[in-house]
Structure 1
Amino acid sequence: MLGYLLRRVLAAIPVLLVVALFVFLLLRLSPGDPAAIIAGDNASPQQLQQIRDILGLNQPLHRQFFIWLGGVLRGDFGISLLSQTPVLTMIGQRLEPTISLALVSIVFTALIAVPLGVLAAWRRGGWIDNLVMSASVVGFSIPVFVIGYVLIQIFAIELRWLPVQGFRSITQGVGEFASRIVLPALALSTVYIALIARMTRASVLGVLDEDYIRTARAKGVTEPVVLFHHALRNAAVPILTVIGTGFALMVSGVVVTETVFNIPGLGRLIVDAVLARDYPVIQALILLTAGLYVLINLLIDISYALTDPRIRY
């Protein structure tokens, strides 16, 4: 298991280096001048030149890259070109809302979608199966912002059970945190519930006709144990893949949800940075997202090995 883990970690390092180089070149070679954005429309050529010297934009690209990469390895992602705030500080201020939203959403997704998918596979062709599949189509079809506004209208405005918008840290109280995270988490998880329910159904259907399932039933094993211990465990690899990828997608794609519910997370930060061409912030956020994908894939690989020992070799 340790050797398998080391191989996966070593394979991830070149991926991160390639992503870092690609992001750096993509931003530097695209049209636009960050010095002109900082200085404003009325800046003189001397002022622009001075800003480029301070930011190191006049140095060769390879030197800029290695200076930036060296800082990243030391935990220094640079200073925001507009706010003059350390990038790591800005990310730290926005990280908790996004991670909290993604974690609660993926928990909702797993708790709802996996049992629904197993039940749909168990009652293949029945009303439960048809209901789950129909609901999944609806979940795919409705945009997240529409679901968000509907939830706000029902639970915040008409019933007045929950706050309309905003975010509270869990350190300010579990009740305050839960009341403000439940609606955006439900809105964000809807499409993933539909996706994972369908994937779970398809995966479990693929193993329900196997010999070991028939053997377990012949021995008198109860149906819940057959479904959730034998069938689901052997069908878990594609399901774990979708759940892990879904979590990474939630973290990197929460812009709409954060906007609808006025949550000050990473999604809004990266939109603001792109519009302002704030290179250090954009680079740090994209590299952070890539690192998250690599970490999630590593955890998925570990879960494969724990679920099916044959994968370790």
Structure 2
Amino acid sequence: MFAYFVRRLLAAIPVMLVVALAVFLLLRLAPGDPAAIIAGDTASAAQIESIRVALGLDQPLHTQFYLWISRLLQGDFGTSLISQTSVMGMITQRLEPTISLALAAIVFTVLIAVPLGVIAAWRQGSFIDNLVMSVSVVGFSVPVFVIGYLLIQVFAIELRWLPVQGYRHLADGFGEFASRLVLPALTLSSVYIALIARMTRASMLEVLKEDYIRTARAKGLGERLVLFRHALRNAGVPILTVIGTGFALMVSGVVVTESVFNIPGLGRLIVDAVLARDYPVIQALILLTAGLYVIINLLIDLSYALTDPRIRY
């Protein structure tokens, strides 16, 4: 198991290097001069050139890349071109809301979608199965912001059970922290509940036709034990793939949800950085997202090996 983990970890290193190079070249070769944006419309050519020299933008691309990657390996993501503050500090301030929202959403997704998919497969063709599939279609079809505003209208404005918008840090108290995460987490998880429920149903339908399931039932095992211990475990590889990928997509795709619920997370930070052409912030956020994908894929591979030992070899 350790050797398998090491092999997968080493395979991730070239991926991150390619991503770093692509991000660096994409932003550097894009039209527009960040020095001119920082200097403003009334700046002279000499002022713009002095800013370019201070930022190192006058040097060849390979020199810029070497200096950038050297600082990156030391944990230095640079300084924001707009706010002149540490990029790492800006990300750290926005990281907790985004990670908290994504974790809460994936918990809601797994707790709701997996049982729904199992029950739908168990009762294939029944009213429950048709209902789950219909709800899944709605989850795919309705935009996330529409679901968010509907939840706000029902649970925050009419019933007054939960706050409308905003975010509270965990240090401010778990009650306030949790109450402000419920609606945005349900909103963000709506699409993934539909996706994972359908994937769980499809995987379970294949497994429930296997001989060992009939054998387990013939031995007199309870239906719950057959479904969740024998069938679900053997159907787990594609389900784990979708869950892991869904979590990565949640972290990188929270822009709409954070905007609807006024959450100061990474989604809003990257939108502001792109509009301002703030290169260091954009690069750091893209690399952070890519690193998150690599880590999640590594965890998914490890979960495969734990679920099916044959994958280790």
TM-score by length of 1: 1.00
**Unmatched tracts of structure 1, length 5 or more:** none
- Corresponding residue for 1:253? 253
Measured in 2, the distance between the counterparts of 1:125 and 1:33 equals 60
- Please give the residue correspondences for 1:219-230 in structure 2 after superposition, counting only pairs within 5 Å: 219-230=219-230
SS of the residue 1:28 aligns to: helix
- Corresponding residue for 1:3? 3
- Corresponding residue for 1:239? 239
- Corresponding residue for 1:115? 115
SS of the residue 1:206 aligns to: helix
- Corresponding residue for 2:134? 134
- Corresponding residue for 1:199? 199
SS of the residue 1:149 aligns to: helix
Q: What code does the residue aligned with 2:45 have? A: P
Q: What code does the residue aligned with 1:102 have? A: A
Deviation for aligned residue 1:162: 1.0
**Unmatched tracts of structure 2, length 5 or more:** none
Deviation for aligned residue 1:158: 1.0
Segments of 4+ moved more than 3 angstroms: none
CA displacement 1:36-91 (0-9 Å, x = unmatched): 11010000111101100110000010110111111111000000000000000000
- Corresponding residue for 2:160? 160
Deviation for aligned residue 1:291: 0.2
- Corresponding residue for 2:71? 71
- Please give the residue correspondences for 1:242-281 in structure 2 after superposition, counting only pairs within 5 Å: 242-281=242-281
Measured in 1, the distance between the counterparts of 2:34 and 2:157 equals 43
CA displacement 1:81-117 (0-9 Å, x = unmatched): 0000000000000000000000000000000000000
- Corresponding residue for 1:22? 22
Q: Percent identity?
A: 80
Measured in 1, the distance between the counterparts of 2:303 and 2:171 equals 31
Measured in 2, the distance between the counterparts of 1:66 and 1:224 equals 58
State the aligned residue count: 313
Check if 1:175 corresponds to 2:163.
no
- Corresponding residue for 1:87? 87
Deviation for aligned residue 1:160: 1.1
Q: What code does the residue aligned with 2:140 have? A: F
Measured in 1, the distance between the counterparts of 2:54 and 2:309 equals 54
Measured in 2, the distance between the counterparts of 1:215 and 1:12 equals 41
Measured in 1, the distance between the counterparts of 2:26 and 2:169 equals 35
Cα RMSD for the two superposed structures: 0.4
Measured in 1, the distance between the counterparts of 2:72 and 2:127 equals 54
